[in-house]
Amino acid sequence: MKNSKILSAVTAVAMVLTLTACNNGTTSSERSSSSSFSSGISETPENDFYREYSIKRDVIIINGYKGNNDVVMIPSEIDGKKVAEIAGFRGLGVLKSVTIPESVTTIGDRAFSDSTVLTEINVDDNNPSYTSKDGVLYSKDMTSLICCPGGKIGNFTIPDSVTKIVEEAFRGCTGLTSISIPDSVTEIGDLAFYDCTGLTSITIPDSVTEIGHSAFERCTGLTSITIPDSVTEIGSYAFERCTGLTSITIPDSVTEIGIETFEDCTGLTSVIIPNSVTEIENRAFYRCTGLTSVIIPNSVTEIGENAFFHCTGLTSVIIPDSVTEIGDDAFLYCTAEITYKGKTYNSDNYYDDLYKAINGN
């Protein structure tokens, strides 16, 4: 009887120890999977991600997704290592929603670009670097709009807290038709609205001082745009291949028209260059075949190579006396009569006479 009581006691202790081991013996990845984010979605299995290990930083960098789910939550740890960076995201074609964990402090350029399926990017509430609102990715303080998912459609209003639209923020958002930019925004980054082919309306507020290169490139649905007086710099390629653009207002604050700024804007019919511009750079109006009228002011001193190449709709151009340098093929394949210092030149003697007259050789 005594031995039986001792055996029962030993068995009870063993059961307690066994239960304790089960509760505390999970792997780091299992513990991570059991944790919940504010969205309530379970973390996606580790093996569903392309990743690499940074020896220097002792962290995991996510490079893409190879699973089949359309809703994904990136884990905060893989193989016991912190997931700290999203460098890119291959496999976006199937994703409609992605959630970024608290651990991620770096997101690479174009990490979520070029997807017309992705409709929301969510961020763990405790992430120190990023946040999201209505499925759009922002800096934690919401002063920088970082990425609008390519699957967004219709109208979109940028919050008043935003001061910068980051590089490629709206790249490939082909379903957006109208975007409202608040007066708080001062900078539109490079390629910010690249390939937003459905965009028909956008108003740039007076607060904006800089439009980055290729900012509106391939926005084929835009028909007109007014650049406010506050803008001092328009980046190269800013409106390249905006084939639907028929008119544009360039303010007196702009001092140069950059490389390929309006290249292949085949719908553009007329343009007035303000007195503030001193240089029309290479290929600025390259192949603007619909252009019938251009006024070059006395402030311009230089016209770059291929500046008006193949502008076949031009019938006459007056180059002011202020121009002292003109690049090769500036008016190649144009049939317009060009007047410079009271003398008229045509396509037969552009090179023999006009270019020599301007360049002095």
Q: Is the pLDDT of residue 48 over 80?
A: no
Q: What is the pLDDT of residues 343-358, one digit of tens each?
A: 999 877 776 788 889 9
Q: How is the chain split into domains, by residue range?
A: 271-361
Cβ density class 283-310: b for 16+ within 10 Å, e for less: bbbbbbbbbbebebeebbebbbbbbbbb
Check: CB of residue 180 under 8 Å from CB of residue 160.
no
Check: CB of residue 301 under 8 Å from CB of residue 279.
yes
Q: What is the pLDDT of residues 53-109, one digit of tens each?
A: 666 688 888 888 888 888 989 999 988 899 999 987 776 678 899 999 999 999 987
Say whether 62 sits in a helix, a strand or coil.
strand
Cα end-to-end distance, the chain, whole Å: 121
Q: 123-129: which pairs have CB atoms within 8 A and are 24 or more residues apart? A: 123/99, 124/37, 124/38, 124/99, 124/100, 125/37, 125/38, 126/102, 127/100, 127/101, 127/102, 127/103, 128/102, 129/104, 129/105
pTM equals 0.82
How does residue 23 score in pLDDT terms, banded at 50, 70 and 90?
Answer: very low
The pLDDT of residue 56 is 62
d(CA 63, CA 77): 14
How does residue 20 score in pLDDT terms, banded at 50, 70 and 90?
Answer: very low
